[in-house]
Amino acid sequence: MKARTRAALAAPALTLAAMFAVAGPAAADTGTAQGDLTPVPLNGVDGSGTAMVWVDGTTLTVQVEATGLLAGSPHAAHIHYGADARNQCPTAADDADGSGTITTSEGVPSYGTVQVSLTTSGDTSPDSALAVDRFDTAEGGKITYERGEIEVSQDLADDILAGDAAVVVHGVDYDGSGAYDGDAKSDLDPSLPAEATDPALCGIVTASQMTDMPTGGVQTGSGGTQGTENLGLLVAGGAALAVGGGLLGAGVVSRRRTHRTDA
């Protein structure tokens, strides 16, 4: 009798536990993705780098290290993705206008639009795609960037872990003058030289076995942009840069998936 009573009491308890197990929230995905940054073809960059993204649910921590960039100049950097993009880095065949270089817009069919702006402070959404005063400056041609607590959509977090996102660093020096200048105009803002916005390095980040996340989730970079020789040139086109940022992020809400990043 006692055995039957214990069994009768246990059955509802087991059923209740099963109900909670079914109804409970699914665990958020975590993982890491990393990739090597290599020169965008045709754009005259002799550099390299690495990118690492730690994903904890919908929160990112990002590290980027790169060399061979234009020294003393700010370099916009982003996480790109597009549901209709090839989700790869550009090739020479992407030079659609035959200019002999790859512009940012010509790279979009390969790597997609801006999803996360890798700024050193403040907003990280596509709205800050060209917030030049908040991107890292290449000290001695090198950037060392780390930032945590970057909030993104679940869809974008999933796409990063699936190996469909690219990290792109912008800013080139076609004529070797040591400054953003030259006659070619930016496809994002004709008041700026193309050197200021054309892509320099690109890498697809794919699943990684690296599990240790940087402590602190700091917001930092290898150098500030205040006082650099090219900052004044870029800020002079500030209003148009905002328009350019919109072009970089165009199509974000019209794709099969809607991704949104938060500051």
| pLDDT of 208 | 84
Please state which CATH class domain 30-248 belongs to: mainly beta
Q: Is pLDDT at 24 greater than 60 in this prediction?
A: no
The 10s digit of each residue's pLDDT in 132-168 is 889 999 999 999 999 999 999 999 999 999 999 999 9
pLDDT class of 84 with cuts at 50, 70, 90: very high
Provide the residue ranges of all domains of the chain, joining segments of one domain with +: 30-248
pLDDT class of 221 with cuts at 50, 70, 90: low
pLDDT class of 182 with cuts at 50, 70, 90: confident
Cβ-contact 116, 131 below 8 angstroms: no
Place of tokens 């109804």: 23
**Nearest-angstrom CA–CA distance, 197 and 130:** 8
Return the closest-CA partner of residue 169 out of 263, 57, 43, 58.
43
Cβ-contact 233, 191 below 8 angstroms: no
Cross-strand pairs, 80: 114, 166
**Nearest-angstrom CA–CA distance, 42 and 174:** 10
Q: Is pLDDT at 109 greater than 50 in this prediction?
A: yes
Round the CA-based radius of gyration of the chain to a whole number and report it.
22
Which of 20-24, 101-105, 170-174, 179-183 has the least mean pLDDT?
20-24
pTM for the model stands at: 0.78
Which of 4-8, 16-20, 199-203 has the least mean pLDDT?
16-20
pLDDT class of 35 with cuts at 50, 70, 90: very high
| pLDDT of 44 | 95
CA atoms within 13 A on the CB side of 209: 0
